[in-house]
């Protein structure tokens, strides 16, 4: 298994894994509403419900705190990417939540993970929390969004997808972005998708145009220009231009005949 989209959480030890086993069935889970009443405990020992973080788009990252490979890397890379996001502000326009899928983790191991890795700068911690599922039903919580993970006795580590799950303000799954596709532009577009209801009801013309002009390519796992939409908009604008020019030419010609 290669790359960051599907990986073991530490260097592999001659383990062969079929990536399809942990691949997320996106068409099945997109639009799924996660349970807002799910109780979590953060790295400072505070209990809260998932619903407490909703009302704004939420970036959800599933990791485990005993990992010394891809999990801290995903958290650190996400912090670097978010520092480059200019369109939306962490804590004000969206939030981030890292949740462990290892039932053995606790608020103490979450705090240890943060202290050891320095994954999240202090400036971001107001909008980003690290937590564990209170009732230890991590399989149920992860399964609700199609996230599957397995313990490998051979590698002595978890096998899991490295993915960001974007939730709408209502807690529905809006987009999956894999580690290999993580960049500031992609995150901004995914946040636009996740918060489309608010954007469509506002005067955020820029965000409306961006949302209309880019579409998500599931086959490639990335955003790309919506060529059909762009051609349609271009044809419409060209038609308006020709109509305006025709009306102007007609009036000018008519005025010339009257003057003669």
- Partners of 172 in the beta sheet? 33
Domain boundaries, the chain: 6-203
**The two structure tokens encoding residue 46:** 């505070």
pTM for this entry: 0.74
**Homologous superfamily of 6-203 in CATH?**
Glutaredoxin (3.40.30.10)
Distances (CA, A) of 114 to 32, 42, 106: 30, 11, 13
- Per-residue pLDDT of 87-101, as tens digits, reads 899 999 999 999 999
Mean pLDDT value across residues 130-152: 93
Judged against a pLDDT cut of 90, whether residue 170 lies above it is answered with: yes
Is-contact 100 110, C-beta < 8 A? Answer: yes
- Per-residue pLDDT of 16-41, as tens digits, reads 556 677 889 999 999 999 999 999 99
CA-based nearest residue to 142, from 120, 158, 124: 158
Query: Residue 145: phi, psi to the nearest 5?
Result: -110, 10
Is-contact 152 15, C-beta < 8 A? Answer: yes
- CA gap 225, 210 in Å, rounded: 9
**The two structure tokens encoding residue 34:** 């996660």
* pLDDT at position 154: 84
User: Which phi-psi region, left, alpha or beta, contains residue 67 (left: φ > 0; alpha: ψ -120 to 50)?
Assistant: beta
Cα 258 to the center of its chain, rounded Å: 64
Residue written as token pair 């939420």: 58
β 128-133/39-42 pair status: antiparallel
* pLDDT at position 155: 80
- CA gap 231, 73 in Å, rounded: 40
* pLDDT at position 156: 83
- CA gap 204, 75 in Å, rounded: 30
Contacts of 112 (CB under 8 A, 6+ apart): 65
- Per-residue pLDDT of 36-62, as tens digits, reads 999 999 999 999 999 999 999 999 999
Judged against a pLDDT cut of 70, whether residue 219 lies above it is answered with: no
- CA gap 68, 117 in Å, rounded: 9
- CA gap 63, 231 in Å, rounded: 41
């Amino acid at each position: 298994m290669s790359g960051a989209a599907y990986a073991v959480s530490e260097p592999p030890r001659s383990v062969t894994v079929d990536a399809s086993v942990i691949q997320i069935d996106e068409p099945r889970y997109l639009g799924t509403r996660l349970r807002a009443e799910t109780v979590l405990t953060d790295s400072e020992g505070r209990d809260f419900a998932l619903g407490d973080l909703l009302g704004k788009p939420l970036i959800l990252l599933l990791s485990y705190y005993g990992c010394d490979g891809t999990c801290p890397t995903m958290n650190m890379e996400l912090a670097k990417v978010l520092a480059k996001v200019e369109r939306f502000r962490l804590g004000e326009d969206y939030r981030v939540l890292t949740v462990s899928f290892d039932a053995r983790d606790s608020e103490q191991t979450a705090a240890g993970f943060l202290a050891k890795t320095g994954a999240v700068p202090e400036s971001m911690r107001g909008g980003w929390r690290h937590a564990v599922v209170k009732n230890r039903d991590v399989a149920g919580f992860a399964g609700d969004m199609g996230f599957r993970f397995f313990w490998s006795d051979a590698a002595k580590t978890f096998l899991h997808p490295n993915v960001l799950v974007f939730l709408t303000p209502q807690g529905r799954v809006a987009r999956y972005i894999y580690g290999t596709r993580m960049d500031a532009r992609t995150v901004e577009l995914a946040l636009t998708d996740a918060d489309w209801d608010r954007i469509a009801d506002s005067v955020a013309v820029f965000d409306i145009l961006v949302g209309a002009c880019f579409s998500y390519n599931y086959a490639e796992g990335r955003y790309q220009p919506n060529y059909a939409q762009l051609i349609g908009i271009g044809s419409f604008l060209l038609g308006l231009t020709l109509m305006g020019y025709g009306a102007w030419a007609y009036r000018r010609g008519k005025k010339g005949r009257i003057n003669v």
